[in-house]
Amino acid sequence: MMPKLIKKIEFDKTISKWFKSYDVIAPVSSKEGIHFKRIKDPKEIKLDGNQNSIYPPKNVFLPQSEVLFTVKNDNYEMPDQAPRKRIVFGMRPCDARAVWLLDTIFNKADDLDLYWGKRREKALIISVGCASMCSNGFCDTVGSGPFGKDGSDILITELDDAYFVDPLTSAGEALIKSLPEADDTQGKNAKLIQKGSVIKEHQAADLPRIREKLYEAFNTSIWKDVSESCLGCGVCTYLCPTCFCFDIVDEIDRSERVRNWDTCMFRVYSAEASGHNPRPTKAERTRQRIMHKFAYWVDNEAASGCTGCGRCISQCPVNLDIREMVQEITSLKIQ
């Protein structure tokens, strides 16, 4: 597939052309920080260095709260599941990889989530690589990187006066076919930027070893130790691009069945109707979170369930660091 080019002076014009056929969802600024929303003006787009959104853009495909169906006159009515075609522009590679991972949960042919599937089939993901890694990011250690390609239809590298546009799928290639081709010099410059984006001191995580050590530590007291400071607020999971726990409630007054984000870090999440709770303390809940990312997902997909975006580190109110927690657990000598 032939890389293309968007000159920065032509950027707004190019995005505006896409408005004719697509809804464009992109990162914008707000008082709370960067977040993704549908834009109507290309000037709304916020692409500053390696700054990522506060909330992960998984909510484009898995809304924080969504109506599954409404009951009217004893009939079930599903919401419109045929959204207009969409371009999700400016997603970072860590978040694009998260969509790829969530596809393994919601978008399997033999076990399709209709709500996710309809949104996903109508969307193109254009990711923008990070010329330098964010302060808490460790995407390069868990199977991706600042210019990782998983989940993206197009990957963009910012040059001095242009954007180097690399199509990764046939759908991405079709979108940009009318753009001018990038030349060899621009291609070489893009590769230099991509190569220089990784922190040399970072070492790739040994996922099979981590998985093995986590299972060995499953019934030890280490989980109580690493979770001692945890407040159980759930911010780590709500801001995680790959966490997908949800609750389903019936809103009787509105005659709606609604799916809402939930978190395994809440005690009530695992409470059973009998009154038994298999995860009664934050030690078991922390174990579930870490095991899911670095053991269960490795079992099922041979990939880390963590994309290294760093949100759970930068936003934790008590400065817990999942890297340090995993290191402490896997360094435990078990007799």
| Domain that residue 134 falls in | 4-195
% of the chain exceeding 90 in pLDDT: 85
Q: CB atoms < 10 A from the CB of 61, how many?
A: 23
Span 258-269, mean pLDDT? 95
Q: Is the pTM of this model over 0.85?
A: yes
For tokens 């095991």, name the residue.
Answer: 291
Residue 319, strand partner residues: none
The number of folded domains in the chain is 2
How far apart CA 271 and CA 292 sit, in angstroms, is 18
Q: Say yes or no: 35 and 101 in one domain.
A: yes
Q: Say yes or no: 50 and 174 in one domain.
A: yes
Q: Say yes or no: 185 and 230 in one domain.
A: no
If you average pLDDT over every residue of the chain, what do you get? 94
How far apart CA 286 and CA 223 sit, in angstroms, is 7
Q: In the prediction, which pLDDT does 261 show?
A: 96
Q: For residue 146, is it within any domain?
A: yes
Contacts of 218 (CB under 8 A, 6+ apart): 287, 291
Q: Say yes or no: 56 and 141 in one domain.
A: yes
**Burial bucket for residue 170 (CB in 10 Å: 0-12, 13-18, 19+):** exposed
Q: In the prediction, which pLDDT does 201 show?
A: 85
Kindly tell me if the per-residue pLDDT of 98 is higher than 70. yes
Q: Say yes or no: 229 and 137 in one domain.
A: no
Radius of gyration over every alpha carbon of the chain, rounded to an integer in angstroms: 21
311 φ, ψ (degrees, to nearest 5) = -60, -40
156 φ, ψ (degrees, to nearest 5) = -110, 135
Q: Say yes or no: 179 and 42 in one domain.
A: yes
Q: Say yes or no: 84 and 141 in one domain.
A: yes
Domain boundary pick from 130, 165, 195? 195
Q: In the prediction, which pLDDT does 273 show?
A: 92
pLDDT per residue as tens digits for the range 32-51: 889 999 999 999 999 877 78
Q: In the prediction, which pLDDT does 32 show?
A: 84
In this prediction, residue 72 has a pLDDT band, given cuts at 50, 70 and 90, of confident
Q: For residue 335, is it within any domain?
A: no
pLDDT per residue as tens digits for the range 74-93: 888 988 766 789 999 999 99
Q: For residue 201, is it within any domain?
A: no
Helices (H) and strands (E) in the chain, counts: 12, 13
Q: Say yes or no: 94 and 231 in one domain.
A: no
Q: For residue 19, is it within any domain?
A: yes
Domain boundary pick from 195, 220, 255? 195
Q: Say yes or no: 185 and 214 in one domain.
A: no
Q: How is 278-298 classified by DSSP, letter by letter?
A: S--SHHHHHHHHHHIIIIIHH
Domain boundary pick from 164, 195, 226? 195
Q: Say yes or no: 171 and 32 in one domain.
A: yes
Contacts of 190 (CB under 8 A, 6+ apart): 3, 157, 159, 164, 166, 182
Q: For residue 244, is it within any domain?
A: yes
Q: Say yes or no: 46 and 167 in one domain.
A: yes
Q: Say yes or no: 135 and 254 in one domain.
A: no
Q: In the prediction, which pLDDT does 82 show?
A: 64
Nearest of 36, 43, 73 to residue 58 by alpha carbon = 36
How far apart CA 31 and CA 295 sit, in angstroms, is 37
Q: For residue 200, is it within any domain?
A: no
- 3-state per-residue secondary structure call for 206-267: CHHHHHHHHHHCCCCCHHHHHCCCCCCCCHHHHCCCCCCCEEEEEEHHHCEEEEEECCCCCH
